[in-house]
Structure 1
């Protein structure tokens, strides 16, 4: 009887660990009106203004988070377009924080071209209607799909970090998503060329990777 009880406790522990975001990387997860959500694909992109948009998609729902900077920090959602969130449900209904929503996105780690952190938000249907609550939100090791714009003053270490970020994004992209695959491939090519410019490529290793990527059309 005691052994059965211990086995049940162990099973419960294993199931609990299975819901840990860190066991399924990269991932964005949380609760939408107390219903568990976990993305099957998760990516982040640096926008032209330096802000960052994270996107997590399950089979039929999508959550997006936007923060004003690509760095560790706390970003409040208070009618501020620089920091915002949206959620699209399985019916295609879009909920936006907009001017009247609120919440918080906390980036706790920026490492090797990935982002990790926590968040919650309240968003309104089409920005003006019924409100939904996204709580207990977490994101872990979400890769950045595009390197930062080329910088002529970039040093070798910085170029290598950008190249690594682009490689992680390319390695984690869904191979069945042709558009995203091509985009991450092109970003990786750009980053490799930038690394060659900043660091050189005496061994020819970087050029071999470039040759293997081809023109990113296939």
Structure 2
């Protein structure tokens, strides 16, 4: 499989834009050195003048939003309108706003279609980075269907519970006094984390005083017996925090929570 992907990437690098022009409409790029090509590409021109270009496959989606639709260069990053968002097959969302960077060039805007190039760096805050290079879109048409491009910082929390995937359907976060409280819950189980609201990046033991972790199973809350939380990033101006965690509950359950991670807005 790896050899096959390398072959595709090499072919993409050699053929480039010429290949795109033989497959109208199209949107494709190298994402972290993996070849991405949409099976459907479309655009929307909104009443406020913003342009949204989107390429989709069955499992993934790349969306570019620009402040205008005229030919030229549009810079990505910061809190402005211009942004790129990628949603992968796991539902993880990478965005250039506000921490990323890049540019989009509209080279042609004829006949209600758009062609151009793009490159960018996008982030899952504090957890992961996505680099897009050699991006091309070619004769992407304007369609009537609305395109969603919501890049509000997503609430992410996941872990392994006794080696089984835990992906909560409900994630909440907020400040109680001087403490950030995070909760991820499904119908029968939940993980709760708390730590000071001025916590800095670094590794911290779960002491069940200033830093706590609990696991709730069928209504019974089980306290951490040992564990640690690693804060990987914390922006106190935007109220965004990310990190990893692991802990074990005490006897008799001795439940192990491993490979935990979170990226949330509180």
TM-score bracket for this pair, using the shorter chain length: 0.5 to 0.7
- Find 2:132's aligned residue among 131, 134, 143: 134
Distance in 2 (CA, whole Å) between partners of 1:112 and 1:23 is 18
Count of residue correspondences: 135
Offset at 1:96? 0.7
Q: Does 1:60 align with 2:50?
A: no
Distance in 2 (CA, whole Å) between partners of 1:32 and 1:132 is 7
Offset at 1:131? 1.1
**How does the TM-score come out when normalised to structure 1?**
0.57
Point out which structure has higher relative CO (alpha carbons under 8 A, 6+ apart). Answer: 1
Distance in 2 (CA, whole Å) between partners of 1:17 and 1:105 is 20
Question: What secondary structure does 2:21 align onto?
Answer: helix
Distance in 1 (CA, whole Å) between partners of 2:22 and 2:58 is 19
Question: What secondary structure does 1:69 align onto?
Answer: coil
Cross-structure match for 1:87: 86
50 and 33 in structure 1: CA distance in 2 versus 1, 3 angstrom threshold: same
Offset at 1:129? 3.2
Q: Deviations over 1:106-141 (max 9, x none)?
A: 00000100000000111111x453111011100000
Unaligned runs of 5+ in 2: 1-9, 147-266
Distance in 2 (CA, whole Å) between partners of 1:81 and 1:128 is 21
Cross-structure match for 1:50: 49
**How does the TM-score come out when normalised to structure 2?**
0.47
Which has the larger Rg?
2
Question: What secondary structure does 1:20 align onto?
Answer: helix
Question: What secondary structure does 2:84 align onto?
Answer: strand
Distance in 2 (CA, whole Å) between partners of 1:142 and 1:37 is 16
Distance in 2 (CA, whole Å) between partners of 1:135 and 1:80 is 22
Matches within 5 A, 1:1-150: 17=15, 20-125=19-124, 127-146=125-144
Distance in 2 (CA, whole Å) between partners of 1:51 and 1:121 is 19
Distance in 1 (CA, whole Å) between partners of 2:126 and 2:47 is 28
* Greater per-residue helix proportion: 1
**103-112 or 79-88, larger mean C-alpha shift:** 79-88
| Consecutive aligned runs of 4 or more in structure 1 exceeding 2 Å deviation | 16-19
Offset at 1:48? 2.8
Question: What secondary structure does 1:139 align onto?
Answer: strand
Offset at 1:59? 2.2
Distance in 2 (CA, whole Å) between partners of 1:86 and 1:102 is 12
Question: What secondary structure does 2:58 align onto?
Answer: coil
Q: Deviations over 1:127-176 (max 9, x none)?
A: 45311101110000000114xxxxxxxxxxxxxxxxxxxxxxxxxxxxxx
Offset at 1:103? 0.5
What is the RMSD of the two structures over their aligned residues, measured on CA atoms? 2.3
Offset at 1:54? 0.4
Cross-structure match for 2:151: none
Offset at 1:78? 2.4
